[in-house]
Structure 1
Amino acid sequence: MRGFLLALACTWTLSVATAQGLLPVPASGAPVAAKDFLARAKRVVDAAARPAAPWNGPRNGPRAQSGKHIAVVAEDLRNGGILGVVDGVLEAARVIGWSVKIFDSAGAADLRQKMLANALASRPDGLIIAGGDVRTLLPGLRPFAEQSIPMVGWHVASRAGPVPGTPVAMNVSTDPLEVARVTALAAIAQSGGHAGVVIFTDTSFRIAQEKSDAMAAIVRACSGCTLLEVRDVAISHSQELMPRTTRALLAHYGPRWTCALAINDIYFDYAAPVLTQAGIPNAAMIMLSAGDGSEPAFLRIRTGTFQTGTVAEPLNLHGWQLVDEMNRLFAGDGVTGYVSPVHLVTADNIAVDSGDRLLYDPDNGYRDIYRRIWQRP
């Protein structure tokens, strides 16, 4: 799928024709004919929904650099994606022989720098940042850089790989724009090309802004779809904001609102109960998330409660990858730059790749491969 997407992709920040980047748009910038758009959307969605492919990541690298102490600074452990990644880090750390101390910023801006300072005071050998925006965190990261403490992160920038202009050697992530494209195209495919869409985002994070912009561009390019609104709701305040936001949107748009897209599953944790209380039938609203594949999201998909899909991150795998990237830095090697393929979870495929355990954990043997790389039993 990645090759197909890249072959069609253009720079999404320009005109509508290039912004949606996946499907042909006339030179005038007019939307694509509904039939052609829908057919191509289904091709992309079907490819993303296949079971996990065989492991295509690294198979060689340095053996375990034993006895390291790692600090993990988490943006907010209430976020299922961040929690899943931290769980993966802890699991991999036990295998490689490292100790880990976790510092939770709880989504509070005034705690981010404090948690970084506390992490530094723990005298770590390496720092893992789980969530957040690396450029916002830069003042607190400089003391780590001055002490030559290696740093890697998860979802700390809008692109996977090294983060230019920062001391973060590797941002572990799937391709955020590819995630956004698959999510929006899934909404179009599931609605038969007739979706009335509200998108939920958090503009305080660059990665969220770019994902929602990409989704909005694709919805606009669908001639039978309507982008009703892009609503900015802080993830850290979603519990208090989403119920009244959902009620306001229902009052304003009524039956025209048929699809909710979000940059994270957590928004739906608080929107779905309001829809149920309002008497909205499950079939009248579809919800799809461009990350991260939380346990409540899997439950909603499995039970048919509004949410029909999530482009789930391989959270546990990403935790193992963070540990492997850090191990390479300790050994004096470069990072791998590996980017996991995008995977769409729906009711049709939720039983595979550990979906029965309410998570996406690719059945590709990555744990055994990392153990062999590290020369650990």
Structure 2
Amino acid sequence: MKGLLPACVWACICACLPSVGAAQGSSTAPVPAASVAAAGHFLAEAKQIVNAAEQPAAPWNGPRKGPRAQPGKHIAIVAEDLRNGGIVGVVDGVLEAAKVIGWSVKIFDDGGAPNLQLKMLAAALASRPDGLIIVGSDAHALLPGLEPFAEARIPIVGWHVASRAGPVPGTPVAMNVSTDPLEVARVTALAAIVQSDGHARAIIFTDSKYHIAQDKADAMAAVVRACSGCTLLEMCNVPISRSEERMPGTTRALLARYGSRWTYALAINDIYFDYAAPVLTQAGWPNTAMTMLSAGDGSESAFLRIRSGTFQTGTVAEPLNLHGWQLVDELNRLFAGESVTGYVFPVHLVTAENIGADGGDRLLYDPANGYRDIYRRIWQRP
């Protein structure tokens, strides 16, 4: 899926890939003029894409029509881990929208423990909901627990439950609400290339337990490898649910292994940097010695780091509250016997230059495009 990356960038990626090994393996070999031109073209296109992603939120381009509010529904939310700022932001959005549309909500949190996921789904089913929202878990991994909902004809929608937005094939999840995860990842990696002027030496942090996380990490790796002057030092698999426990030691080990060769940290979620940044500070690293960029989700701590210039320079933030409203709208359409919208919100890169816009003063990305009023009109709610 090429998304917002122009064909010329992908052509450049393909052209650059064969030269990466040579570029990283030997500093004495002459660089062909064609390779220099290709690298320059790649960097110029990367700058265009990153600049577009940094612009303030565009006017609303999502749905404007749909069924009126289906009243009196009881909704169950099964959250992957409410310690994760992205998940909390989405749940808050659902609660805000549910109050407007007139629904009651009960939340079930598995705390990131795999052995509790199916138990929380069973508890949610026992609450006899009219609809189910799953937030942050892999839909395919949850399939045994989702099937009873499907058998009871309870509609299901989710957030970040698969590697693509839209219906999740092979599962009863009618809609996965998300920005395009691969575009999020590519913009993150391109931002690192732009900020380093094509010389990033990067480590990528991911959680291979989730398909969406690994797909994002692989997409970032592909872009870094396509940059002839960049180096992918390592890809680190650290479970998100154990990031507080694992990231300090992992960061210290990586510092010992790579030292000043490590200049860029890329991650599939801001939470990794919550525990890596203090280690860098304790090790005496100045903020300019390491640059952190995240492919989601735009947490409060990430906004604080970007505002203060503490290592992190960007996050491709999700419109978490908006996504919560979209989940409610998609579920309302299913209750009314209509199809989901399939709407995918555009990718947005938050940096120090634009952090004051679109909710940044409240430490979140909340697009100023009037989505709340639009959904109220769709639902015919005051």
Is TM more than 0.5 here?
yes
Long gaps (5+) in structure 2 = 21-34
Q: Which residue pairs with 1:317 in the alignment?
A: 322
What are the Cα deviations for residues 102-154 of structure 1, in whole angstroms up to 9, with x where unaligned?
00010000110000000000000000000110000000001100000000000
Q: Which residue pairs with 1:30 in the alignment?
A: 19
Q: Which residue pairs with 1:221 in the alignment?
A: 226
Cα offset for 1:27? 8.2
1:281 aligns with 2:286: yes
1:63, 1:375 within 8 Å by CA — same for their partners in 2? yes
1:125 aligns with 2:130: yes
1:51 aligns with 2:56: yes
Task: Sort the Cα spacing of 1:245 and 1:160 in 2 relative to 1 into closer, same or farther, 3 A.
Answer: same
2:16, 2:228 within 8 Å by CA — same for their partners in 1? no
**Counterpart residue identity of residue 231, structure 1:** C
Equivalent of 2:92 in 87, 96, 101: 87
Q: Which residue pairs with 1:8 in the alignment?
A: 7
Q: Which residue pairs with 1:236 in the alignment?
A: 241
Scaled by the length of structure 2, what TM-score is found? 0.93
**Counterpart residue identity of residue 142, structure 1:** E
Distance in 1 separating the partners of 2:179 and 2:165: 7
Task: Sort the Cα spacing of 1:275 and 1:342 in 2 relative to 1 into closer, same or farther, 3 A.
Answer: same
Task: Sort the Cα spacing of 1:126 and 1:22 in 2 relative to 1 into closer, same or farther, 3 A.
Answer: farther
Secondary structure at 2:132 match in 1: strand
What are the Cα deviations for residues 226-276 of structure 1, in whole angstroms up to 9, with x where unaligned?
100000000000001000000000000011000000000000000000000
Secondary structure at 2:310 match in 1: coil
**Counterpart residue identity of residue 30, structure 1:** S
Task: Sort the Cα spacing of 1:22 and 1:303 in 2 relative to 1 into closer, same or farther, 3 A.
Answer: farther
Q: Which residue pairs with 1:136 in the alignment?
A: 141
2:16, 2:227 within 8 Å by CA — same for their partners in 1? no
Equivalent of 2:276 in 254, 271, 288: 271
**Counterpart residue identity of residue 266, structure 2:** L
Task: Sort the Cα spacing of 1:44 and 1:23 in 2 relative to 1 into closer, same or farther, 3 A.
Answer: farther
The CA RMSD over aligned residues, in Å, is 1.4
**Counterpart residue identity of residue 255, structure 2:** L
Equivalent of 1:67 in 61, 69, 72: 72
Distance in 2 separating the partners of 1:340 and 1:307: 24
Q: Which residue pairs with 1:251 in the alignment?
A: 256
Cα offset for 1:38? 1.4
Q: Which residue pairs with 2:183 in the alignment?
A: 178
- Aligned length, in residue pairs: 365
**Counterpart residue identity of residue 315, structure 2:** T
What are the Cα deviations for residues 285-323 of structure 1, in whole angstroms up to 9, with x where unaligned?
000000000000000000000000000000000000000
Mean CA deviation greater in 21-30 or 128-137: 21-30
**Counterpart residue identity of residue 237, structure 1:** R
Q: Which residue pairs with 1:294 in the alignment?
A: 299
What are the Cα deviations for residues 29-48 of structure 1, in whole angstroms up to 9, with x where unaligned?
33563322211111100000
Identity percentage of aligned residues: 77
Q: Which residue pairs with 2:361 in the alignment?
A: 356
